[in-house]
Amino acid sequence: MSVYVISDLHGCLEEFRAMLDKIQFSDYDELYIAGDVCDRGRYPIELLRLIMAHKNMHLIFGNHDVWLARYAEDLIEGKRNPGHLRLLGGDFLNWVHWNGGLVTIDQFLDSEFTVCYDILEYLADPQYYKELQVGGRKFLIVHSGLGERWKLGLPVCEYSESELIWPHIGINDNPYRDVTMIVGHMPTFLYGKQYEGKIIHGRNLLHIDCGCVFGRSLSCVRLDDMQEFYVSSTYPYLE
């Protein structure tokens, strides 16, 4: 049995399937997804349903998962009465227009009601971080890493939802000396050309969003031996 971590799938179903093949993922393994299953990529809802169908795949929420959770009920109402969606303002439009939500919304609205309600229920009990121990080593998995207060070294349970899903952290921003933090959220190429499509190793901190939906790669880490796996992206390369 092995424990894997992956992040920022963003609808990249083909790459995700290729990764499961590559790591030979089985019913005896566990996979933690460090947030952002939906939006931007081609198959967000199908991907989410694949994850929901596996009891050994665990979603830790990112900012994009929060958007879908927040608006799932409105989208169901919108299936019955399309005018309802026009009433939704600011943050909904921000998701639709600037954050790749349109493809998720479109596919959600095209799904059967039973599927929509399954998704609503699945997203109703969010996890924002996961602490675990594998092979004597302690890990903390959290979508963005910790917010501005990270230097205070507060226990992770003291941070608010938004501090765990929104900050853009530095390469070494981990206050915990004996805990390896694993984060996504910021595609690694944004930290510099030398990190294109690769995991960044900070101080006790792994940045694993390798920018699959931006045309780089999908990465996955096996916590038992810290081996890294990569799958090439099928998406266009975005500067």
| Interacting residues toward Mn ion by CB under 5 A | 36, 62-63, 185
Cβ at position 184, least distance to Mn ion in Å? 6
Cβ at position 114, least distance to Mn ion in Å? 29
Closer residue to Mn ion, CB minimum distance, 111 or 144: 144
For 63, which DSSP code? H
Looking at beta carbons, which residue is closest to Mn ion?
Answer: 185
Pairing of strands 205-207, 129-134: unpaired
Which amino acid type is present at position 198? K
222 forms bridges with which residues in the sheet? 4, 227
Closer residue to Mn ion, CB minimum distance, 62 or 101: 62
Closer residue to Mn ion, CB minimum distance, 64 or 198: 64
Closer residue to Mn ion, CB minimum distance, 63 or 174: 63
Cβ at position 126, least distance to Mn ion in Å? 14
User: What's the CA gap between 76 and 73, in Å, rounded?
Assistant: 5
**Percentages (nearest 5) of helix, strand, coil residues in the chain:** 40, 20, 40
Cβ at position 143, least distance to Mn ion in Å? 6
Closest CA to 147 of 132, 130, 160: 160
Cβ at position 36, least distance to Mn ion in Å? 4
Closer residue to Mn ion, CB minimum distance, 116 or 169: 169
Name the one residue in this structure whose structure tokens are 């095209």: 110
E strand or H helix at 132 = strand 129-134
